[in-house]
Amino acid sequence: LPSDAAAVCVVQARMGSTRLPGKVLADIDGRPMLRFMLDRLAALTVAKLVVATSALDRDDPIEAVATAAGVAVVRGSEHDVLDRFRLAVETYPAPVVIRLTGDCPLTDASLVTDVLARHRDTAADYTSNVFPRTFPKGLDVEVMTRAALDEAVEHARLPIEREHVTPYLYRHPERFRLANLSSGLLLGDERWTVDTADDLTFVRGLVERMGGDGHFTWRQAFECVGATASRPPGALWLRPVSAADADRVREWRNDPESLRFSRTTEPVGAATHEAWFATRLDNPQSRFWVGVVDDVAVGFVRIDVADAQGRVSLAVDPSERGRGHGTAMLVAAQRQLALDLQVDVVTAEVSPDNAASRRAFLAAGFTHQGVVDGFERFAWNNARQ
Protein backbone atom coordinates (compact mmCIF):
# COMPACT_ATOMS: atom_id res chain seq x y z
CA LEU A 1 0.00 0.00 0.00
CA PRO A 2 1.47 3.43 -0.81
CA SER A 3 2.16 5.35 2.39
CA ASP A 4 -0.04 8.19 1.08
CA ALA A 5 -3.17 6.18 1.76
CA ALA A 6 -2.77 6.57 5.53
CA ALA A 7 -2.39 10.33 5.38
CA VAL A 8 -4.57 13.41 5.46
CA CYS A 9 -3.08 16.41 3.67
CA VAL A 10 -4.01 19.78 5.15
CA VAL A 11 -3.41 23.01 3.22
CA GLN A 12 -3.71 26.11 5.40
CA ALA A 13 -4.82 29.26 3.61
CA ARG A 14 -6.25 32.65 4.47
CA MET A 15 -6.94 35.95 2.77
CA GLY A 16 -5.15 37.99 5.43
CA SER A 17 -1.49 38.46 4.54
CA THR A 18 0.44 41.48 5.69
CA ARG A 19 2.72 41.75 2.68
CA LEU A 20 0.43 40.66 -0.14
CA PRO A 21 -3.25 40.61 0.97
CA GLY A 22 -5.42 38.14 -0.92
CA LYS A 23 -2.35 36.54 -2.50
CA VAL A 24 -3.82 33.04 -2.41
CA LEU A 25 -6.38 34.21 -4.97
CA ALA A 26 -3.84 35.98 -7.21
CA ASP A 27 -4.02 34.76 -10.78
CA ILE A 28 -1.62 32.04 -11.82
CA ASP A 29 -2.12 30.58 -15.27
CA GLY A 30 -5.72 31.78 -15.41
CA ARG A 31 -6.66 30.33 -12.02
CA PRO A 32 -6.57 31.55 -8.42
CA MET A 33 -3.21 30.56 -6.95
CA LEU A 34 -4.89 28.23 -4.43
CA ARG A 35 -6.77 26.48 -7.25
CA PHE A 36 -3.53 26.10 -9.21
CA MET A 37 -1.96 24.47 -6.15
CA LEU A 38 -4.95 22.19 -5.44
CA ASP A 39 -5.03 21.09 -9.08
CA ARG A 40 -1.36 20.10 -8.82
CA LEU A 41 -2.10 18.23 -5.57
CA ALA A 42 -4.89 16.24 -7.22
CA ALA A 43 -2.10 13.82 -8.19
CA LEU A 44 -1.76 12.81 -4.52
CA THR A 45 -3.27 9.52 -3.45
CA VAL A 46 -3.82 10.58 0.17
CA ALA A 47 -6.91 9.57 2.09
CA LYS A 48 -8.11 13.16 2.13
CA LEU A 49 -7.04 16.58 0.93
CA VAL A 50 -8.41 19.39 3.12
CA VAL A 51 -8.16 23.17 3.04
CA ALA A 52 -8.10 24.68 6.53
CA THR A 53 -9.09 28.33 6.65
CA SER A 54 -10.59 30.71 9.17
CA ALA A 55 -14.24 31.23 10.01
CA LEU A 56 -13.96 34.93 9.11
CA ASP A 57 -16.26 36.18 6.35
CA ARG A 58 -13.29 37.42 4.39
CA ASP A 59 -12.12 33.81 4.01
CA ASP A 60 -15.36 32.77 2.27
CA PRO A 61 -13.66 33.02 -1.16
CA ILE A 62 -11.12 30.41 -0.02
CA GLU A 63 -13.88 27.98 0.81
CA ALA A 64 -15.44 28.72 -2.59
CA VAL A 65 -12.19 28.00 -4.47
CA ALA A 66 -11.59 24.76 -2.57
CA THR A 67 -15.17 23.58 -3.02
CA ALA A 68 -15.02 24.32 -6.74
CA ALA A 69 -11.88 22.15 -6.90
CA GLY A 70 -13.71 19.34 -5.11
CA VAL A 71 -11.56 19.70 -2.00
CA ALA A 72 -12.91 19.46 1.57
CA VAL A 73 -12.82 22.55 3.81
CA VAL A 74 -12.65 23.09 7.56
CA ARG A 75 -12.90 26.53 9.14
CA GLY A 76 -11.62 27.60 12.52
CA SER A 77 -9.50 30.19 14.29
CA GLU A 78 -7.57 32.68 12.15
CA HIS A 79 -4.49 32.83 14.38
CA ASP A 80 -4.59 29.51 16.23
CA VAL A 81 -3.73 27.54 13.11
CA LEU A 82 -2.73 24.54 15.22
CA ASP A 83 -6.35 24.36 16.37
CA ARG A 84 -7.44 24.43 12.72
CA PHE A 85 -5.27 21.35 12.19
CA ARG A 86 -6.93 19.72 15.21
CA LEU A 87 -10.27 20.38 13.58
CA ALA A 88 -9.06 18.98 10.26
CA VAL A 89 -7.79 15.70 11.72
CA GLU A 90 -10.79 15.27 13.97
CA THR A 91 -13.04 15.71 10.95
CA TYR A 92 -10.89 13.52 8.67
CA PRO A 93 -8.92 11.19 10.96
CA ALA A 94 -5.71 9.56 9.71
CA PRO A 95 -2.56 8.30 11.44
CA VAL A 96 -0.33 10.63 9.42
CA VAL A 97 -0.82 14.36 8.78
CA ILE A 98 0.77 16.46 6.04
CA ARG A 99 1.04 20.24 6.40
CA LEU A 100 1.24 22.52 3.37
CA THR A 101 0.66 26.25 3.04
CA GLY A 102 -1.50 27.93 0.41
CA ASP A 103 1.15 30.44 -0.59
CA CYS A 104 3.32 27.75 -2.17
CA PRO A 105 1.67 27.08 -5.55
CA LEU A 106 4.69 25.12 -6.82
CA THR A 107 4.28 22.48 -4.12
CA ASP A 108 4.95 19.18 -5.86
CA ALA A 109 2.79 16.11 -5.20
CA SER A 110 5.70 13.77 -5.99
CA LEU A 111 7.82 15.59 -3.40
CA VAL A 112 5.04 15.19 -0.83
CA THR A 113 5.14 11.47 -1.55
CA ASP A 114 8.93 11.45 -1.15
CA VAL A 115 8.73 13.15 2.26
CA LEU A 116 6.01 10.69 3.31
CA ALA A 117 8.26 7.79 2.28
CA ARG A 118 11.14 9.26 4.27
CA HIS A 119 8.81 9.67 7.25
CA ARG A 120 7.79 6.02 7.03
CA ASP A 121 11.35 4.75 6.50
CA THR A 122 12.77 6.67 9.46
CA ALA A 123 9.79 6.00 11.75
CA ALA A 124 10.05 9.66 12.74
CA ASP A 125 7.43 11.69 14.61
CA TYR A 126 8.04 14.68 12.33
CA THR A 127 9.67 14.76 8.90
CA SER A 128 10.22 17.73 6.64
CA ASN A 129 12.48 18.92 3.84
CA VAL A 130 13.55 22.15 5.58
CA PHE A 131 15.93 21.14 8.40
CA PRO A 132 18.35 21.64 6.72
CA ARG A 133 16.90 23.43 3.73
CA THR A 134 18.15 22.00 0.44
CA PHE A 135 15.01 22.64 -1.64
CA PRO A 136 13.86 26.04 -2.88
CA LYS A 137 11.73 27.84 -0.30
CA GLY A 138 8.16 27.28 -1.44
CA LEU A 139 8.43 23.50 -1.73
CA ASP A 140 8.17 22.95 2.02
CA VAL A 141 6.49 19.73 3.10
CA GLU A 142 5.95 18.72 6.71
CA VAL A 143 4.72 15.30 7.76
CA MET A 144 3.90 14.25 11.30
CA THR A 145 2.19 11.46 13.12
CA ARG A 146 -1.29 12.13 14.39
CA ALA A 147 0.05 11.33 17.87
CA ALA A 148 2.71 14.06 17.61
CA LEU A 149 0.15 16.57 16.34
CA ASP A 150 -2.17 15.67 19.22
CA GLU A 151 0.66 16.32 21.68
CA ALA A 152 1.28 19.73 20.14
CA VAL A 153 -2.44 20.53 20.25
CA GLU A 154 -2.52 19.63 23.91
CA HIS A 155 0.73 21.19 25.12
CA ALA A 156 1.77 24.02 22.77
CA ARG A 157 1.17 27.32 24.56
CA LEU A 158 3.31 29.98 22.91
CA PRO A 159 1.57 32.09 20.25
CA ILE A 160 4.21 31.15 17.65
CA GLU A 161 3.69 27.47 18.39
CA ARG A 162 -0.06 27.88 17.81
CA GLU A 163 0.27 30.11 14.74
CA HIS A 164 2.97 28.10 12.97
CA VAL A 165 1.54 24.67 13.93
CA THR A 166 4.75 22.64 14.03
CA PRO A 167 7.41 24.54 16.09
CA TYR A 168 6.35 22.60 19.17
CA LEU A 169 7.63 19.48 17.41
CA TYR A 170 10.82 20.67 15.72
CA ARG A 171 11.90 22.82 18.68
CA HIS A 172 11.99 19.72 20.84
CA PRO A 173 14.21 17.08 19.26
CA GLU A 174 14.73 15.80 22.79
CA ARG A 175 11.06 14.76 22.79
CA PHE A 176 10.22 14.08 19.14
CA ARG A 177 12.12 12.06 16.60
CA LEU A 178 12.84 14.40 13.68
CA ALA A 179 13.86 13.44 10.15
CA ASN A 180 14.71 15.31 6.98
CA LEU A 181 14.58 14.75 3.26
CA SER A 182 17.46 16.31 1.31
CA SER A 183 17.38 17.24 -2.37
CA GLY A 184 21.06 16.40 -2.71
CA LEU A 185 21.48 19.90 -4.17
CA LEU A 186 22.25 23.29 -2.62
CA LEU A 187 19.01 25.12 -3.34
CA GLY A 188 18.10 26.37 0.13
CA ASP A 189 18.58 30.01 -0.88
CA GLU A 190 16.18 29.86 -3.86
CA ARG A 191 12.78 31.54 -3.42
CA TRP A 192 9.80 29.84 -5.02
CA THR A 193 7.22 30.86 -2.43
CA VAL A 194 4.79 33.77 -2.84
CA ASP A 195 5.25 36.36 -0.14
CA THR A 196 5.89 39.52 -2.13
CA ALA A 197 4.93 41.02 -5.50
CA ASP A 198 8.39 40.04 -6.82
CA ASP A 199 7.81 36.44 -5.76
CA LEU A 200 4.51 36.43 -7.61
CA THR A 201 6.19 37.73 -10.76
CA PHE A 202 8.84 35.01 -10.49
CA VAL A 203 6.32 32.19 -10.03
CA ARG A 204 4.09 33.46 -12.85
CA GLY A 205 7.13 33.62 -15.15
CA LEU A 206 8.16 30.10 -14.18
CA VAL A 207 4.67 28.69 -14.80
CA GLU A 208 4.51 30.45 -18.15
CA ARG A 209 7.85 29.02 -19.21
CA MET A 210 6.80 25.52 -18.19
CA GLY A 211 3.61 25.83 -20.25
CA GLY A 212 1.05 23.01 -20.36
CA ASP A 213 -1.50 22.52 -17.62
CA GLY A 214 0.79 23.25 -14.66
CA HIS A 215 1.48 19.59 -13.86
CA PHE A 216 5.27 19.74 -13.90
CA THR A 217 7.57 18.42 -11.17
CA TRP A 218 9.88 20.68 -9.19
CA ARG A 219 12.88 19.04 -10.86
CA GLN A 220 11.54 19.86 -14.32
CA ALA A 221 10.98 23.43 -13.17
CA PHE A 222 14.48 23.62 -11.75
CA GLU A 223 15.98 22.32 -14.99
CA CYS A 224 14.12 25.12 -16.72
CA VAL A 225 14.84 28.12 -14.45
CA GLY A 226 18.05 27.01 -12.74
CA ALA A 227 19.46 28.61 -9.60
CA THR A 228 19.01 32.35 -9.15
CA ALA A 229 20.42 33.04 -5.65
CA SER A 230 23.31 35.47 -5.91
CA ARG A 231 26.65 34.63 -4.31
CA PRO A 232 28.91 37.63 -4.78
CA PRO A 233 32.68 37.05 -5.00
CA GLY A 234 34.29 37.07 -1.58
CA ALA A 235 30.97 36.72 0.26
CA LEU A 236 30.51 33.90 2.73
CA TRP A 237 27.50 31.60 2.45
CA LEU A 238 26.50 28.48 4.33
CA ARG A 239 25.77 25.08 2.88
CA PRO A 240 24.64 22.06 4.91
CA VAL A 241 27.51 19.67 5.70
CA SER A 242 27.73 16.57 3.59
CA ALA A 243 29.45 13.19 3.96
CA ALA A 244 32.40 14.54 1.95
CA ASP A 245 33.12 17.07 4.74
CA ALA A 246 33.89 14.46 7.41
CA ASP A 247 37.68 14.71 7.23
CA ARG A 248 37.93 18.48 7.02
CA VAL A 249 35.55 18.98 9.93
CA ARG A 250 37.69 16.61 12.00
CA GLU A 251 40.86 18.49 11.05
CA TRP A 252 39.32 21.82 12.06
CA ARG A 253 38.09 20.29 15.29
CA ASN A 254 41.48 18.70 16.12
CA ASP A 255 43.66 21.66 15.25
CA PRO A 256 45.81 22.63 18.30
CA GLU A 257 44.09 26.02 18.77
CA SER A 258 40.65 24.41 18.67
CA LEU A 259 41.73 21.82 21.23
CA ARG A 260 43.33 24.37 23.48
CA PHE A 261 40.07 26.30 23.77
CA SER A 262 37.67 23.37 24.00
CA ARG A 263 36.43 21.67 27.16
CA THR A 264 37.66 18.32 25.91
CA THR A 265 41.29 19.01 25.06
CA GLU A 266 41.89 15.55 23.57
CA PRO A 267 41.80 15.11 19.76
CA VAL A 268 38.77 13.23 18.47
CA GLY A 269 39.70 9.81 16.99
CA ALA A 270 38.84 8.92 13.40
CA ALA A 271 36.36 6.15 14.23
CA THR A 272 34.59 8.19 16.91
CA HIS A 273 34.37 11.16 14.59
CA GLU A 274 33.06 9.12 11.64
CA ALA A 275 30.35 7.54 13.77
CA TRP A 276 29.31 10.87 15.29
CA PHE A 277 29.47 12.75 12.00
CA ALA A 278 27.23 10.22 10.25
CA THR A 279 24.50 10.84 12.82
CA ARG A 280 24.69 14.59 12.18
CA LEU A 281 24.02 14.50 8.43
CA ASP A 282 20.50 15.63 7.60
CA ASN A 283 19.68 15.55 11.28
CA PRO A 284 17.28 18.36 12.25
CA GLN A 285 18.52 18.31 15.83
CA SER A 286 21.81 19.89 14.69
CA ARG A 287 21.93 22.80 12.30
CA PHE A 288 25.31 22.10 10.79
CA TRP A 289 26.79 24.17 7.99
CA VAL A 290 30.07 24.66 6.18
CA GLY A 291 31.05 28.25 5.42
CA VAL A 292 32.01 28.73 1.77
CA VAL A 293 33.85 31.66 0.23
CA ASP A 294 34.61 31.56 -3.50
CA ASP A 295 34.13 27.78 -3.56
CA VAL A 296 36.56 27.26 -0.67
CA ALA A 297 35.28 25.57 2.52
CA VAL A 298 36.58 27.89 5.27
CA GLY A 299 35.05 26.44 8.43
CA PHE A 300 31.96 25.02 10.11
CA VAL A 301 29.27 26.33 12.38
CA ARG A 302 26.93 24.00 14.21
CA ILE A 303 23.92 24.75 16.38
CA ASP A 304 22.75 21.85 18.53
CA VAL A 305 19.07 22.20 19.36
CA ALA A 306 17.31 21.07 22.52
CA ASP A 307 14.27 22.56 24.20
CA ALA A 308 14.07 25.47 21.73
CA GLN A 309 17.62 26.53 22.61
CA GLY A 310 20.64 26.36 20.34
CA ARG A 311 24.28 25.85 21.38
CA VAL A 312 26.92 27.01 18.93
CA SER A 313 30.21 25.39 18.00
CA LEU A 314 32.42 26.76 15.30
CA ALA A 315 35.91 26.53 13.90
CA VAL A 316 37.65 28.17 10.98
CA ASP A 317 40.34 26.46 8.92
CA PRO A 318 43.69 27.45 10.52
CA SER A 319 44.92 28.99 7.26
CA GLU A 320 41.75 31.11 6.98
CA ARG A 321 41.57 32.61 10.48
CA GLY A 322 41.58 36.31 11.19
CA ARG A 323 39.85 37.22 7.91
CA GLY A 324 36.36 37.74 9.27
CA HIS A 325 35.06 34.25 8.38
CA GLY A 326 34.26 33.26 11.98
CA THR A 327 32.13 36.38 12.45
CA ALA A 328 30.57 35.98 9.00
CA MET A 329 29.59 32.35 9.73
CA LEU A 330 27.87 33.40 12.96
CA VAL A 331 25.98 36.18 11.18
CA ALA A 332 24.97 33.84 8.35
CA ALA A 333 23.81 31.21 10.86
CA GLN A 334 21.71 33.86 12.65
CA ARG A 335 20.11 34.72 9.32
CA GLN A 336 19.25 31.08 8.72
CA LEU A 337 17.79 30.69 12.21
CA ALA A 338 15.69 33.83 11.77
CA LEU A 339 13.98 32.18 8.76
CA ASP A 340 12.46 29.48 10.92
CA LEU A 341 11.36 29.15 14.50
CA GLN A 342 13.46 26.30 15.73
CA VAL A 343 15.33 28.20 18.45
CA ASP A 344 14.56 31.29 20.48
CA VAL A 345 17.95 31.68 22.16
CA VAL A 346 21.40 30.66 20.97
CA THR A 347 24.20 30.32 23.51
CA ALA A 348 27.93 29.72 23.33
CA GLU A 349 30.62 28.87 25.84
CA VAL A 350 34.00 30.41 25.16
CA SER A 351 37.28 29.82 26.91
CA PRO A 352 38.36 33.03 28.67
CA ASP A 353 41.67 32.84 26.76
CA ASN A 354 39.97 32.64 23.35
CA ALA A 355 40.13 36.30 22.31
CA ALA A 356 39.24 35.70 18.65
CA SER A 357 36.15 33.71 19.52
CA ARG A 358 34.95 36.18 22.14
CA ARG A 359 35.34 39.04 19.65
CA ALA A 360 33.60 37.10 16.90
CA PHE A 361 30.56 36.48 19.15
CA LEU A 362 30.44 40.10 20.25
CA ALA A 363 30.78 41.30 16.64
CA ALA A 364 27.83 39.04 15.68
CA GLY A 365 25.64 40.66 18.34
CA PHE A 366 25.87 38.05 21.09
CA THR A 367 25.90 39.46 24.61
CA HIS A 368 28.09 38.38 27.46
CA GLN A 369 26.11 36.59 30.17
CA GLY A 370 28.76 35.81 32.75
CA VAL A 371 30.96 32.83 33.51
CA VAL A 372 29.72 29.24 33.80
CA ASP A 373 32.16 26.53 34.96
CA GLY A 374 35.12 28.67 33.98
CA PHE A 375 33.83 29.44 30.45
CA GLU A 376 32.38 32.75 29.27
CA ARG A 377 28.75 32.44 28.31
CA PHE A 378 27.39 34.38 25.33
CA ALA A 379 23.77 34.52 24.18
CA TRP A 380 21.77 35.82 21.23
CA ASN A 381 17.98 36.14 20.96
CA ASN A 382 16.45 35.02 17.70
CA ALA A 383 14.72 38.31 16.87
CA ARG A 384 11.71 36.81 15.15
CA GLN A 385 10.39 35.66 18.52
Ligand X SMILES: CC(C)(COP(=O)(O)OP(=O)(O)OC[C@H]1O[C@@H](n2cnc3c(N)ncnc32)[C@H](O)[C@@H]1OP(=O)(O)O)[C@@H](O)C(=O)NCCC(=O)NCCS
What residues line the site for ligand X (CB under 6 A)?
257-258, 261, 314-316, 321-327, 348, 350, 354-357, 359-360, 363
Separation between Cα atoms, residue 363 and residue 380, nearest integer Å: 12
CB of 291 to ligand X, least distance (A): 9
CA angle, residues 359, 171, 153, in degrees to nearest 5 = 155
Our CB check for ligand X shows the closer of 15 and 350 to be 350
Our CB check for ligand X shows the closer of 212 and 322 to be 322
Our CB check for ligand X shows the closer of 135 and 237 to be 237
CB of 367 to ligand X, least distance (A): 15
CB of 227 to ligand X, least distance (A): 27
CB of 264 to ligand X, least distance (A): 12
* Phi then psi dihedrals of residue 111, to 5 deg: -70, -40
Give the list of residues 6+ apart from residue 95 with CB closer than 8 angstroms, or none: 6, 7, 145, 146
Torsion of CA 98, 103, 105, 107, to 10 degrees: -30
CB of 310 to ligand X, least distance (A): 14
Q: If DSSP codes are grouped into helix, strand and coil, which group holds residue 198?
A: helix
Q: Which of 376, 373, 346 is nearest to 358 (CA)?
A: 376
Our CB check for ligand X shows the closer of 126 and 361 to be 361
- What's the order of all strands across the beta sheet hosting 126-128? 72-76, 48-54, 7-12, 96-101, 142-145, 126-128, 178-180
Our CB check for ligand X shows the closer of 219 and 323 to be 323
CB of 321 to ligand X, least distance (A): 3
Our CB check for ligand X shows the closer of 46 and 314 to be 314
Give the list of residues 6+ apart from residue 182 with CB closer than 8 angstroms, or none: 129, 132, 134, 240, 282
Which residue has the CB atom at the shortest distance from ligand X?
Answer: 326
